[in-house]
Chain A
């Protein structure tokens, strides 16, 4: 995994050097990799009978984890919202919009 993380940092450096250029093709390449990877994930899942049999259970687990993550994130955001005194996001808002 060190390789993978290093690849990201290498990418950040290259991206920063090329920041003056339009990288119009990049989102499509990213999408291509994502599609390939999800195809392969699907393939791994499809080839594994044990996983296929337990899809309903896995779905229920996923639903529970995601709903509780949303709920707790929102509570955390609410705490910050109270700490900040329900602010407008831009503290210099008057200058910007006036």
Chain B
């Protein structure tokens, strides 16, 4: 939660400085974004490479549950595609690109900003923050309606960190390994899905 506040604070600071036009960044901000993004993904890669705990306990899982990340991706993309019916002036693919962030708001919004501009980037940031918050708030309800796997699917790429505590609480401790595995796969898929959907 502290992290989310800090992130929001920096974002708001950026908006305010942009509004006041005090900071003469201009073109430079695009270049900085690009290098910072490459640096970020290098570090994210390092943390993935050094941490294979998600796979150490996988043998214990029910084989069919390994398909949960795939279900999450299919669900997220189809839900986002369906939402484009109600949104004027956004293509199906744009909405799917936003949905493919799967609550990984930092990475997906930055990627989408690079490909499609700051406007869709802003939508991606908001949509994916709402998805994380929604999962945290709705987890008990989702378990009741859709079963124990629902909060994991809803949490998308965050199920190995921020939403893991609520999943453990409402789905049960038996789902911790599945949840970490699920977050890991979704995390890893976000850059590829967003890139794919933005270049179609």
Contacts and interface: CB of A to CB of B under 8 A. Distances in A.
Interface of A: 1, 3-5, 7-19, 21, 23, 26-27, 29-31, 33-48, 50-52, 54-55, 58-59, 61-84, 86-93, 96
B164 interface: no
A43 B15 contact: yes
Chain B contact patch, size range: 35 or more
A40 B67 CA distance: 36
Interface string B124-155: 11111011001100100010011111101110
Q: Is the interface of B mostly helix, strand, loop or mixed?
A: helix
Nearest to B37: A4
A51 B191 CA distance: 24
B62 A87 contact: yes
Given A3-B38, A31-B3, A90-B60, A73 B79 contact: yes
Interface in B68-88: 68, 71-72, 74-76, 78-80, 82-83, 86-87
Q: Which of B10, B18, B131, B174 has the most CB of A within 10 A?
A: B18
A19 B114 CA distance: 31
Contacts of B146: 74-75, 77-78, 81
B15 A23 contact: no
Given A9-B45, A15-B50, A44 B38 contact: no
Given A43-B23, A46-B15, A69-B75, A34 B40 contact: yes
Nearest to B142: A74
Nearest to B33: A40
B40 A37 contact: yes
A44 B110 CA distance: 11
A42 B106 contact: no
25 contacts: A8-B42, A11-B41, A15-B48, A19-B49, A33-B37, A33-B40, A35-B6, A36-B32, A38-B11, A42-B10, A43-B15, A43-B18, A44-B113, A46-B18, A64-B86, A69-B75, A69-B79, A69-B80, A73-B150, A73-B153, A73-B156, A74-B154, A77-B147, A80-B71, A90-B177
